[in-house]
Each structure stands twice: as C-alpha cells, then as structure tokens.
Amino acid sequence: MAKKILNLYFQGELAGKLEYENGKFFFEYDEGYQGKDISNNITKDKSHHTYDEVKAFFENLLPEQNIRKHIAKQYGISESNVFMILYHIGGDCAGCIELYPEDYIYNKQDEFSLKSFLTKYSCLDGNELVDIVKNLIDGYKGIPLDRMSLAGAQKKLTLIKLRHKVYGIRFFMPMDNFPSNCLIKVTNGRDDGLIYNEHFCMSLSSKMGFNTAKTTIHKLTEGLEFLSVRRFDRNIRQLGLMVSCSRKHMQDFCQVFNKESNVKYQKEGGPAIKDIFFELEGLDRKRFIQIIIFNYLIGNNDAHAKNFSILESGSFGQDVIYNLAPFYDLVSTNAYDYYEDKMAMKIGGEYEHNKIRYKHFYKMAKELKLTQRFIDKEILKISSDIVNVAEQLKKELIDIGFESDIYDKIIYLIQKNSMTLINSKQYASW
C-alpha cells in the first residue's frame, strides 16, 4: 500500500503526522509545534517516534473486539490495521487527539452562537433516536462512524448533548471537528438490564462520594432505551446565546504503561493494582484504593487497566498535570451467572472474587506500603454505608420510573460481600 498520512491535531493545533507505509506507522512531531506532549510516552524530547514506541498508544484509541471487527468489515480493511481504522474513524478520539487525512481542511471549532449551532447541527428527533438505538443494537448498521473512535468493548456512539431552555435535553450528531460531549450505550442483548446495572453502579459510586462520570437513562418509543454518559474529557458550555467547547487530554493505563488493549488484564500481562497505585500521587492513591474496595463490594470483576485513566487537570509550563480521572464503566458483572468470577487485577495475590477475604486487603495494603489503620478505616466506612445508600438509590430510581430487577441482585451481592469481608477480619493478621 502507498504511503498514507494522518495529521494529528492536539487541542486544536497541528502537533505532527502519523505516517503509514509497508504495514507500519510512526509519529513525527511538527517542527513548528509548541504545544504539549501528546502522551507521556511520546514526548517532544525527540521528534521521531517509531512504530514500536507509538503502536500501543494509538491502538488503545480504537474500539475493541466485535465492534472493531464490524468497523473494519464496514470499511473493507483488516481489523488488525490500526492506522487504517483510525484513518476512517479517528476524528473524535478520547482526550485531545484528532486525526484527519492530509487533504482534510481543518478549522478549529471552539465557539458558536447558539443560533448558528442549531442551524449547522440538526437536532435528532425522537424517530431518529429510535433508529439510531435500533441500529446500534444491530451492530452500527446505517450509522456514520467517521468520528467515533472510542475505546471499549460495549456498543456505544458519541453525540452532542445540550439542554434547550424550551425543549429540554436535545441530542445532535457531531459534524466537522466539533467535539462530542456524551456517549450513548445500549444493551448488548445478553446482559439483562445492563444499562440499569451501569446507571445504578455509577450513581451509587457518586452517592458514596467518589468522583464518577454522570449517567442518565433515556426512554424512547417502542420500549427502547439507552444510557447517556457525560464525557469528562469534554467541556461544552452554553453561556447565554453562545456555545463553546474545549477538550481535556486523557490516557488510560494501558496507554500509560505502553500496553496494547489485548493485555489489559493483569493475568495477560497487563498492569496490576500496585502498578497503577505507584503511578498516582497524593489523594489520587486514596481514591484508587476506595474504588478497589467499592468494585469488590458491588461484584465488578472487569475493572481492568483500560477502565482507569488519568485526566489533564492543569499544566506547569509545557508539562501537563494529570490526576486520576472520574470513574467510569462501573458494572456489577457478578449479577450475571455466566461471567467469570476472576478479578481483572489481583487483590492481595488472589484473582477469584469468591475467595477474597479481609486478609487479602491487608496483603494488598502492605504491598502498597499503606498502614493498617488506613485500610481498616476505608473498608469500615465504605462497607458500613454502602448498603443503606444502595437501598435509598433503588427507591429514588423506582420513584422516577426507572424500575429494574437488577437492583435487588446488586444489593444482594453488596450485602453478601460486605458481610464476607467484615466477618473474615477476625482471621486476618497484620
């Protein structure tokens, strides 16, 4: 195949070029680029970065598994060809990355009048949303995919979500290089109540005081429904009659550790709890331990390296300051009998969820150089509060019309896991 080039824009500036030839690609910073590093592994200390140095970062921008297969089939390319998939769908990647073919005329889109925005971007009416959700369930059939490079294995689509003072919440299909600010998810047909499961777990995390991406369930005609998730790497604001947008950079922990997505689980060579913990600093370490405890209690065995990220929170000169991103993709996998009982990352040397006891949290704490007092305090606080908070959340959701049998399954698991953990403390020695 002849050489192909993608221009990479970072926070609206041309940062460099991703060049592809003979099955491999490399990244070259633009000589005139004065902005920030696009990754902690792809720095401006040198201008040229080889295929081996950049493949993992760019591969992790792509959807995974069957979604990647479907997209590759739709464009008639190999699912293993990272560059060519990005060539077609890389316009609205996670963080600040935008990838466009060399001949694309790029105009930085960061502010519109509300009137011109509504003229340029057509609002999706109820019937169009119904069609989108149906097609999403059916595997992206008929949906334009040229601007939706979002990592993950779930069926999802990026949209623009705005609140109109007269018409309420409205959704728009992204165009040109104006960023999306939300993603929508649908059930996968196998996991009963999946969007209710995720909404419940995400809302529970938030009510427990953890920084968590905001989710909302939307009901349509024909019994269809979807989950919208606010993107924390986007900020679209309505200030009077103006609409403005900005991007924040983020990297998941596969990107941080330069691992491809096929090794996102620890047992496959992916990052462990201690790897992520020691990459963090200050209060982020405490937040990370809290969500490890929370995930154990709700039965979330799928908290792998791609489900944790760092998010741009500021800068010091040309250096980006990163903090642990809001939590996302929180789901009780144990609510479904057919999911494996093994955790994505070992807790105190143990993978199997039903074998984890208090002693394993002690062992983990020692590995992380935490004190006994700290881990006791966090386990006690979270396990003491979570059942009551979950029961109250269930009531609130039912009161507003979001009923689901999945809530009782999750609450049962929380009660069981809390009792298992607390009752096993007497057998744990520091």
Which tens digits make up the pLDDT trace of 320-349? 899 999 999 999 999 998 888 999 999 999
| pLDDT tens for each residue of 195-245 | 999 999 999 999 999 999 999 999 999 889 999 999 999 988 877 777 788
- 217-223: which pairs have CB atoms within 8 A and are 24 or more residues apart? 217/402, 218/129, 218/169, 218/184, 219/401, 220/126, 220/129, 220/130, 220/133, 221/126, 221/130, 222/130
CA distances from 206 to 135, 332, 417, 429 (A): 31, 15, 20, 32
| Mean pLDDT along residues 47-51 | 98
Does residue 305 belong to any structural domain of this protein?
A: yes
**Residue 272: φ, ψ to 5°:** -100, 170
**Quick one: tokens of 248?**
């924040």
- 254 & 236 share domain: no
* Per-chain mean pLDDT for the chain: 91
Q: Which residues pair with 316 in a beta bridge?
A: 319
* Neighbour count for residue 133 (Cβ, 10 Å): 21
The DSSP annotation for 300-353 comes to: -----GGG-EEEEEEEETTEEEEEEPPB-----GGGSTTS-SEEEEEETTEEEG
Q: Is residue 386 part of a domain?
A: yes
Query: Phi, psi (5° rounding) for residue 208?
Result: -80, 0
Q: Do both 179 and 145 map to the same domain?
A: yes
409 in a domain, yes or no? yes
Q: How far are the Cα atoms of 38, 257, 307, 383 from residue 379, in angstroms, in the given order? A: 37, 28, 22, 6
Query: Is the pLDDT score of 156 beyond 90?
Result: no
Task: For residues 214 and 259, state if they share a domain.
Answer: no
| Residues β-bridged to residue 236 | 245
pLDDT at 126: 86
Which of 101, 126, 142 finishes a domain?
A: 101
User: In this structure, how many other beta carbons lie within 10 angstroms of the beta carbon of residue 349?
Assistant: 11
- The DSSP 8-state label assigned to residue 406 in this structure reads H
Residue 153 pLDDT greater than 70, yes or no:
no
d(CA 294, CA 291): 5
pLDDT of residue 283: 98
CB atoms within 10 A of CB 58: 28
189 has pLDDT over 70:
no
Query: Is residue 324 located within the same domain as residue 397?
Result: yes
- pLDDT 10s digits, 5-35: 999 999 999 999 999 999 999 999 999 999 9
Q: Which structural domain range is residue 365 located in?
A: 250-427
> Are 330 and 295 within 8 A, CB to CB?
yes
In this structure, are 276 and 378 located in the same domain? Answer: yes
Confidence of residue 190 (pLDDT cuts 50, 70, 90): low
Of 45, 75, 101, the domain-final residue: 101
Residues 142 and 80 in one domain: no
- Kindly state whether residues 404 and 268 are assigned to the same domain: yes
pLDDT over 70 for what percent of the chain? 94
Contacts of 121 (CB under 8 A, 6+ apart): 160, 172, 173, 174, 175, 178
How does DSSP classify residue 42? S
Tell me which of 227, 247, 267 is where a domain ends.
Answer: 247
Structure letter (DSSP) for residue 63: B
Contact 48, 55 (CB under 8 A): no
- Helix ranges (H only) for 168-241 are 194-207
CB 155 within 8 A of CB 65: no
- Model's pTM, two decimal places? 0.94
* Domain identity same for 258 and 376: yes
CATH number, domain of 401, equals 1.10.1070
Q: 353, 339 in Cβ contact below 8 A?
A: no
pLDDT band at 36 (very low <50, low <70, confident <90, very high): very high
Distances (CA, A) of 316 to 39, 312, 313, 319, 325: 15, 11, 10, 5, 19
CB-count exposure of residue 377 (10 Å: 0-12, 13-18, 19+): exposed
Residues 41, 127, single domain; the answer is no
| Domain annotation covers residue 106 | no
Closest Cα partner for 381 from 286, 319, 287, 290? Answer: 290
Considering the domain architecture, whether residues 119 and 171 belong to the same structural domain is answered as yes
Q: What is the DSSP string of 107-169?
A: ----EEEHHHHHHHSPBP-HHHHHHHHHHHHTTSTT---TT----BSS-EEEEEEEEETTTEE
Pairwise CA distance, residues 93 & 104, whole Å:
16
Rg (CA), the chain: 22
Q: Do 279 and 420 sit in the same domain of this protein?
A: yes
Tell me the pLDDT band of 152, cut-offs 50, 70 and 90.
low
Residues 353 and 372 in one domain: yes
Per residue in 249-281, pLDDT tens? 999 999 999 999 999 999 999 999 999 999 999
Domain count of the fold of the chain: 3
